[in-house]
Amino acid sequence: MASPQDVINMVKENDVKFVDFRFTDTRGKEQHVTVPVSAFDEDKFENGHAFDGSSIAGWKGIQASDMQLMPDASTAYIDPFFDETTLVLTCDVVDPTDGRGYDRDPRSIAKRAEAYLKSSGIGDMAYFGPEPEFFIFDSVEWSVDMSGCNLKIYSQEAAWTSGEKSDSGGGSGHRPTVKGGYFPVPPVDSLHDIRSAMVLTLESIGVPVEVHHHEVATAGQCEIGTLFSTLVKRADWTQILKYVVHNVAHQYGKTATFMPKPIVGDNGSGMHVHQSIWKDGKNLFAGNGYAGLSEMALFYIGGIIKHAKALNAITNPGTNSYKRLVPHFEAPVKLAYSAKNRSASIRIPHVASDKARRIETRFPDPIANPYLCFTALLMAGLDGIQNKLHPGDAADKNLYDLPPEEDAKIPTVCASLEQALDALDKDRDFLTRGGVFSNEWIDAYLELKMDEVNKVRMTTHPVEFDLYYSC
């Protein structure tokens, strides 16, 4: 692990001109502040960098705004996009009044979860492997004001452009059909080179990549698979992946989004999250039970199923999230587990060895704050283990095509963000154990997210004109 002195050496060896301190806000968006190298030395690792926390949505009020950014030396990398050589450091946010990680800082919450896992005696390490999907469009336009609202997505790869002319006078004819993007070779897959550039950039700054490919949807749905790691590190890498995807797309004159459901009538973007718990170098999810799982792993699944509706508020944190999570449209809405059935919300991947044994939670989506998402899933799973919450029998039938009487017996995830927030408000104790999340954080989060619910609720939608204008 890199030390502060290693970072100082890195600054000198690369002739660094600026140091960029980064942290993640509640909504999951990275923020940054930059200092010239003349204002950076080893003391920054001890004393931190002061900033105003009152300007971050859902954080401190103006009466108590002073916060400290404490850089983590192990996260250092050279930014691949800035003109001037800039070293990036991911930071924890510390409250200077007590020197502890701020209770609303997502990275500090994730660190507390790792500490709680160890203190519980259940395990000493939790591994996470997210699979965030995203779209790459040529451009996008939208407006919302008192006169109305509109949205337009432009993509030469989109199925809906087959009858449109390009700048050269005609279309190529090669494009993925609706649900036809998984995964034909170019020229139907027009984004191979952009994804390759993203992969090379990720690897150059220390994020190991395993695979990249076009995803199911038309109009540029993609996925880059990166290596699993421990909770905090894997959340750090997810933030870097999103940063790289956005900026490489921008360099190519395109635009990338991790919105769960940016287009109508085709697959949305999920973020399946693979998880396992280890102790003393042994995978505790490996056993002799269903699909090679241990009893502990089944209890972990039971915890996720029990708390799924509350989890939705964190794992699916936008109103747009629930345009993806719609029953009977191939979305992982059914709260069941299966080794074979991708329609279940929890899948057990087929693996070659016990070291790779894990579970895959399929309902999260990529606008989730990764620090909060992974932490909440871990806390739900630990509650399942501690209370021996067995999830019942596995579901090996196609859950999208059940008789109505069977379908009604299987619980589902939430149908709206408002429903998820209500569930979180009522089912929060599993998150606050060990001081991982605080009730104050949950209250502030509910308020922040209800503002989003109300903004969408009070905005007239074009579909409503379609439905009601002539009534």
Binding-site residues for Mg(2+), in ranges, read: 131, 133, 215, 223, 272, 360
223 is catalytic: yes
350 is catalytic: no
Q: Please, which residues have CB within 8 angstroms of residue 123's CB and are 6 or more apart in sequence? A: 117, 277, 278, 279, 284
Q: Which of 342, 396, 425, 427 is catalytic?
A: 342
42 is catalytic: no
Tell me the residue type at 243.
Y
**Positions at the binding site for ATP:** 210, 274-276, 342, 355
Q: Which of 223, 266, 383, 418 is catalytic?
A: 223
The burial class, CB within 10 Å (0-12 / 13-18 / 19+), for 26 is buried
- Cis omega before residue 80 (within 30°)? no
141 is catalytic: no
Q: Please, which residues have CB within 8 angstroms of residue 74's CB and are 6 or more apart in sequence? A: 1, 2
Q: Which of 72, 114, 360, 418 is catalytic?
A: 360
Virtual CA dihedral for 37, 43, 48, 52, nearest 10 degrees?
A: -60
Give the N- to C-terminal CA distance of the chain in Å, as an integer.
66
Q: What is residue 205's DSSP assignment?
A: T
Q: Which of 195, 272, 307, 347 is catalytic?
A: 272
Q: Which of 49, 362, 383, 428 is catalytic?
A: 362
22 is catalytic: no
Q: Which of 131, 157, 189, 383 is catalytic?
A: 131
How far apart (Å, rounded) are the C-alpha atoms in residues 372 and 437? 9
Query: How many of the other CB atoms lie within 10 Å of CB of 458?
Result: 7
How far apart (Å, rounded) are the C-alpha atoms in residues 279 and 299? 17
131 is catalytic: yes
104 is catalytic: no
Determine the 3-state secondary structure of 277 from DSSP.
strand
Q: Which of 25, 114, 133, 236 is catalytic?
A: 133
342 is catalytic: yes
203 is catalytic: no
How far apart (Å, rounded) are the C-alpha atoms in residues 364 and 271? 5
Q: Which of 114, 157, 215, 383 is catalytic?
A: 215
**Positions at the binding site:** 131, 133, 210, 215, 223, 267-268, 272, 274-276, 324, 330, 342, 355, 360, 362
Backbone φ/ψ region at 373: left (φ over 0), alpha (ψ -120 to 50), beta = alpha
E strands along 72-137, which residues?
Answer: 77-78, 86-95, 100-101, 125-137
Q: Which of 6, 41, 52, 393 is catalytic?
A: 52
**Active site (catalytic) residues:** 52, 131, 133, 215, 223, 272, 342, 360, 362
